[in-house]
């Protein structure tokens, strides 16, 4: 079996990618299912979260969009929130410039389209297993993570309603997700100034602009604040989100 797989570079790369993405499958299994179920509980047809999972492919943004889709039509906010919530992708891209450089064919655009947190966390931290075709390995890790997310969302969206228990309160999965990321980030960082600034500025903007329109001014004020106090906050640079 092993010799068969190593002989074909594609098969070996797919197998190696599957093994390394298994923990992501478990994590996405829960989060994607919750997302599909959450969209269902908001009254959306099952195909809506599946489409969103496929084309947006950014979990936290999809949860936020779910809430925004139940509100007023706000295209500019959707675009700006997308940019700011996913701004961290910029830095994944910077890190993957070199590893992805030798991929020059059709796989390259897909690698860039699908550069999500989980894919970056694998490809950016662990070396490619020995004897494995790097380009196929990168491709399969990206593809598998994408597929896990879409499939688990579909399962939640299509079958979530036939669960034998009440899903009331399921909507807490979004605050729980952000609280978990927030707390996890807090545990890793050495200086809490940017985190506290994000909390405080957003809270002040919420009081000033009200719950419908505070997100955009918050984002602008946060970027402005971070740039204004760059010299002071730079000492805390090097921390990871």
Residues 201-240 that bind other proteins (CB under 8 A): 201-203, 206, 211, 214-215, 218-219, 222-223, 226-227, 230, 233-234, 236-240
Is residue 1 at the binding interface for other proteins, with CB under 8 A as the rule? no
61 near other proteins, rule: CB under 8 A? yes
Torsions phi, psi for 165 (to 5 deg): -135, 165
How many degrees, rounded to 5, is the angle at CA 176 between CA 171 and CA 177? 100
The footprint of other proteins on residues 87-106 (CB under 8 A) is: 87-94, 97, 100
Structure tokens at 172: 């807490």
Nearer residue to other proteins within complex by CB, 6 or 55: 55
Out of 42, 112, 147, 155, name the contact with other proteins by CB under 8 A.
Answer: 112
> Do 5 and 11 contact (CB within 8 A), yes or no?
yes
Q: Which of 12, 13, 25, 58 binds other proteins (CB under 8 A)?
A: 58
Nearest alpha carbon to residue 57 among 120, 138, 137 = 120
Q: From the CB of 133, what's the least distance to other proteins, in Å? A: 21
Instruction: Tell me the window of 4-12, 27-35, 132-140, 149-157 that interacts with other proteins (CB under 8 A).
Output: 27-35
Cβ proximity to other proteins, 155 vs 170, nearer residue? 170
Q: Give the nearer residue to other proteins in terms of CB position, either 22 or 223.
A: 223
For other proteins, the binding residues in 143-162 under the rule CB under 8 A are none
Q: Which of 189, 216, 217, 220 binds other proteins (CB under 8 A)?
A: 189
CB 128 to other proteins: min, Å = 19
DSSP one-letter string for the chain: -HHHHHHSHHHHHHHHHHHHHHHHHHHHHHHHHHHHHHHHHTT--THHHHHHHHHT--HHHHHHHHHHHTS---HHHHHHHHHHHTTTHHHHHHHHTTTTTT--STHHHHHHHT--HHHHHHHTTSPPPTTS-HHHHHHHHHHHHHHHHHHHHHHHHHHGGG-SS--TTGGGHHHHHHHHHHHHHHHH-S--HHHHHHHHHHHHHHHHH-TTT-HHHHHHHHHHHHHHTHHHHGGGTT---
Of 12 and 152, CB closest to other proteins: 152
Q: Is 9 in the site for other proteins (CB under 8 A)?
A: no
Among 26, 47, 208, 228, binds other proteins (CB under 8 A): 26
Smallest separation (angstroms) from other proteins to the CB of 229: 9
5 versus 85: smaller Cβ distance to other proteins: 85
């Amino acid at each position: 079996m092993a010799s068969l797989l190593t002989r074909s570079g594609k098969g070996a790369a797919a197998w190696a990618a599957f093994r390394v993405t298994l923990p992501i499958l478990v994590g996405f299994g829960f989060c994607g299912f919750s997302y599909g179920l959450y969209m269902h509980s908001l009254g959306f047809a099952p195909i809506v979260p599946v489409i969103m999972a496929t084309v947006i492919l950014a979990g936290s943004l999809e949860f936020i969009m779910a809430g925004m889709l139940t509100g007023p039509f706000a295209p500019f906010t959707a675009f700006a929130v997308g940019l700011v919530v996913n701004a961290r992708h910029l830095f994944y891209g910077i890190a993957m410039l070199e590893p992805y450089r030798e991929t020059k064919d059709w796989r390259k655009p897909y690698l860039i389209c699908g550069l999500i947190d989980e894919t970056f966390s694998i490809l950016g931290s662990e070396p490619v297993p020995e004897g494995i075709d790097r380009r196929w390995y990168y491709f399969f890790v990206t593809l598998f993570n994408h597929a896990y997310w879409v499939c688990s969302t579909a399962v939640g969206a299509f079958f979530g309603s036939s669960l034998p228990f009440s899903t009331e309160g399921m909507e807490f999965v979004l605050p729980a997700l952000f609280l978990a990321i927030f707390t996890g980030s807090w545990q890793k960082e050495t200086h809490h100034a940017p985190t506290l600034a994000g909390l405080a500025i957003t809270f002040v903007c919420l009081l000033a602009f009200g719950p419908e329109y505070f997100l955009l001014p918050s984002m602008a004020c946060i970027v402005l604040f971070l740039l204004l106090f760059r010299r002071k906050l730079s000492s805390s640079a090097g921390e990871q989100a």
